[in-house]
Amino acid sequence: MRQIFLDTETTGLYPAQGHRIIEIAAVEMMNRRPTSNHYHVYLNPEREIDPAAQEVHGITLEFLQDKPLFDAIAQDFIAFIRDAELIIHNAPFDMGFLNSELGRIGLQPIETMCGRITDTLKMAKDSRPGQRNNLDALCRHFGIDNSKRTLHGALLDAELLAEVYMAMTRGQDSLMMDLGQTQQMATNQFATNGVRTLKIIKADEAELALHEEYVKSLAKAGAKLW
C-alpha cells in the first residue's frame, strides 16, 4: 500500500480570493514503512503574500522570485502522487488550493488522480473530541519530537504528519495484523486438513460382509435404519 503524506504552504487562506500555493511537500510510505522518496518544491505565486501567512511560514516573496510556476512542476507532482492514498491534515484546505492550481491550467481535480484521501484532522477530532488537534498538539499527545518546528514548513510538517498518523493508527494496524495472521492460519489449516488433502480408505470385502450382517440384525430387531 502506497501512502503519501502531503502538506502545502500558501500566500493566504482562500484560493477563491486569488491566493496561491508557494510550497508543496509529499513524503512517501510503503506498507506503513517510510521510504527515501519525497517530493518538495517552492513555487512563485506571482502575487503578494499576506503578512499573517508570512508570519506562520516565514517564506518571503523575494525568496520565491526565481522559483518555478505551478504549471512547470504539475506533471512531476501528479506523477509522484498518482494512485496513492493522500494523507493530509485538514485536507479540505490543501485540496482546495491544489484543485485551484490544477484548474488554472486545465487539469482535473486531484481526487481523480489518487486512490483515496484521508483527513487526519477529522480522524483526530473523532478520537479526541473537544481537544486541540492541530499538528503541534498531536505531536505532544503522542510524544513526537517537533522541537525543530519553529515555523510551519511543508516538508517538516509532512514528515511529522507521517509520525502522527502512525501513532494514531497503531492499534488499528495491530488489529489488521492479527486478522491477517488469523486468516493466514485458517488458510494454512485448510491447506493441511482441507478436503483436497483427505485420504479415502475403502472398506475391504470382510468389512462389507460384517456391515451387511449388522444391518440385517437391526432390521430383525425392528430398528428404523434411516
Strands ordered across the beta sheet of 33-42: 33-42, 21-30, 2-10, 85-88, 116-119
The reply to whether 152 belongs to the active site is yes
Select which of 19, 38, 152, 211 is catalytic: 152
Polymer length in residues for the chain: 226
Measured on CA atoms in the order 162, 164, 169, 173, is the torsion positive or negative? Answer: positive
In whole angstroms, give the CA distance from residue 152 to residue 89.
13
Q: Which residues form the catalytic set? A: 152
